Structure 1
Amino acid sequence: MPIDAGRATAAEPRTAEIAWDHKDVQLYHLGIGAGIPATDPDELRYTLESRLHVLPSFATVAGAGMGMMGGLAAPGVDIDLTAVLHGGQRVEVHRPIPVKGRARTTSRVAAVYDKGKAAVLVLRSEAADDDGPLWTSDAEVYVRGEGGFGGERGPSVRTEPPARAPDRTVERHVREDQALLYRLSGDWNPLHADPEFAELAGFDRPILHGLCTYGMALKAVADTLLDGEVARVRAYRTRFAGVVYPGETLRIRMWRQDAGVRLTATAADRGDAPVLADTLVETG
């Protein structure tokens, strides 16, 4: 089998040094739709270096997302990347991410689960600087055709949204060029830019990065229910339930809960087709 679960999870973590500054943070924020209106004081917190704060989802692109790629290159993992789907994401921040920093990352395969027709790799990346841990990021990667090896099925985090009206509903337009801008933060998969490649993958046209949608939804929560205080976010998890096309509109529904904010995201232009599910922003 191309995935040797025991070897993959026992392998020594891969390490790397990463660095970022205000330009990387600003580019990421612009890639998830910040800066509209350009002179809005609330938006300037994402775009103007003298006022800048860092949305915790920036952890997914810091160092050009090398943590996830390190996990896919682990011993015991020999897979066809065209069979890989990003199924879910969780980021836990241990303290606010600085606008400028250097960190050491360690990446490993934390778990391999058997879903029958697919295997799921949990790729864990941890970052720390001289002051201690910064964040832990778990990417759940589905590998089609690699299941059925008799391994553990893994935990289920499926949850239904509250059976009441959401506390807030907002819509966020996805610009036609948004995938082209977002990919400058490090995800160069041609699926998000090349129409011919997208067609080969079974899509009518290039799709938006799931992690771009992930960032857009977190920004919506921070701006509407957290008074813009991104430091209140402790952790953020989601399951990628469907695709978004540039030019569409995201509809984000939010419910306050004791643990934080539960949300769903759907494609408003396609009958509220699910995009993000089982999603929770944990706050402190």
Structure 2
Amino acid sequence: MPIDVAKATAAEPTSTPLTWDAKDVLLYHLGIGAGSRTEVPAAATHPAELRYTLEDRLHVLPSFATVAGGKMALAAGLSAPGIEIDLAAVLHGGQRIAMHRPLPVSGQANQSSRVAAVYDKGKAAVIVLRSDVADADGPLWSSDSQIFVRGEGGFGGERGPSQRAELPDRDPDHTVHRSTREDQALLYRLSGDWNPLHADPEFAALAGFDRPILHGLCSYGIVLKAVVDTVLDGDVSRVSAYETRFSGVVYPGETLRVRMWPQSGRVRVLVTIADEGPDSERAGAPVLADTVVEYT
């Protein structure tokens, strides 16, 4: 079997240095649509957006942790001992980050990553990669990435947890729409995720898609920004944790409908395709599920 569970989970953690600066943060923010909110007049120069796009007042969205230093934890998991898989069979299944303190605009840190578990989902395997990042002042963030590998299940392993974040039985408190650009994936990939699934039509076809799809972590960042801007008054430092399950794909150019239910320190979120854009027949298609933003 291409995945040797015992070998993968017993391997020593991989240590990777991370370095980033304001330019990396600005590029990431632009890659998730900063400066382009349609409901904000003159969004590119609006103060609410300039805190993401202008270096002298820059605040770092916590989801930047997923690309900080260009050393993606996901990539480390795919190269771990005991892991030999076809990149075309890989999808990002879920993501959680927990913040120990606000991210600095520039930094040098060390990322320690290991395969925490490999679960057998029948037709697929799920690799859980755990990463902890710290700088000279102490811990910065911790993350769990769930890597879904089609065709690698059925090896008799544990199925793993199946947790669902129940939504309140009422209308959402907030509903916003976030459009994506046709070139969104091409811009976002410059932050470090070079998987050709998001740029090359031929590779996307091998993976079963009729055209390249948007990075799950791009949608992840778009949605966190929407929650911070809508519920937390743009204060990125209030986010303490953020988790989601990637329940469907987004094609660049589509619009996301983001529904939010704030509940005493948590915002429960549901994300689907809106009935706008080039593929309105996909209206209501799932994007992110079991999504929770924890805040102080």
TM range (shorter): over 0.9
The code of the aligned residue for 1:57 comes to: S
The 2-side partners of 1:159 and 1:66 are apart by 26
Shift in Å, 1:196: 2.3
What is the aligned residue count? 284
Contact 2:102 2:237 in 1 (8 A): yes
User: 2:32, 2:218 within 8 Å by CA — same for their partners in 1?
Assistant: yes
Which shifted more, 145-154 or 173-182? 145-154
Partners of 1:88 and 1:5 lie apart in 2 by 19
Correspondence for 2:21? 21
Partner residue of 1:71 out of 70, 77, 95:
77
Between 151-160 and 163-172, the greater mean CA deviation after superposition? 151-160
Q: CA deviation at 1:200?
A: 2.7
Q: 1:273 aligns with which of 253, 261, 285?
A: 285
Does the 8 A contact of 2:16 with 2:71 survive in 1? no
Checking the alignment, whether the CA contact within 8 Å between 2:88 and 2:197 is kept in structure 1 is no
The CA deviation string for residues 46-73 of structure 1, in whole angstroms up to 9 with x for no partner, is 0000100000000101121432211221
The aligned runs of 1:95-174 (5 Å cut-off) are 95-174=101-180
Structure 1 counterpart of 2:233 = 227
Structure 1, residues 204-250: CA drift from partner, whole Å, max 9, x if none? 22111110000000000000000011111011000001111111110
Distance 1:147 1:200, change over 3 A: closer
Letter in 1 for 2:289: A
- State the secondary structure of the residue aligned to 2:227: helix
In structure 2, distance between residues paired with 1:274 and 1:117:
21
Q: How do 1:184-263 residues align onto structure 2 when only pairs under 5 Å count?
A: 184-263=190-269
CA positional deviation for 1:160: 3.2
Partners of 1:203 and 1:82 lie apart in 2 by 11
Please tell me whether the aligned partners of residues 191 and 198 of structure 1 are also in contact (alpha carbons under 8 angstroms). yes
Question: What residue number does 1:7 align with?
Answer: 7
Asked if the contact 2:165–2:292 (Cα under 8 Å) also holds between the matched residues in 1, the reply is no
Whole-angstrom CA distance in 1 between matches of 2:106 and 2:69: 12
TM-score, length-scaled by structure 1 = 0.97
Match for residue 30 of structure 1? 30
* Cα pair distance change 1:9/1:84, threshold 3 Å: same
The C-alpha deviation readout for 1:73-99, integer Å capped at 9, x for no partner, is: 111112222211110011111100000
CA RMSD of aligned residues (A): 1.1
Comparing 56-65 with 189-198, greater Cα deviation is found at 189-198
Q: Distance in 1 between matches of 2:210 and 2:117?
A: 34
Please, what TM-score do these two structures have when normalized by structure 2? 0.93
**Code of the aligned partner of 1:206:** P
Cα distance per residue 1:242-272 (max 9 Å; x no partner): 1111111100000011241000111113221
- Between 1:72-81 and 1:164-173, the stretch displaced more is 72-81
Q: Once the 2 structures are TM-superposed, how far is the Cα of residue 153 of structure 1 from its aligned partner?
A: 1.1
Aligned-pair CA distance for 1:197 = 2.1
Stretches of structure 1 lacking an aligned partner (at least 5 in a row): none
CA-CA distance at 1:121 after TM superposition: 0.5
How much has 1:189 moved relative to structure 2? 1.3
* Partner Cα separation in structure 1 for residue 69 and residue 78 of structure 2: 16
State the partner residue of 1:282.
294
Report sequence identity in percent.
72
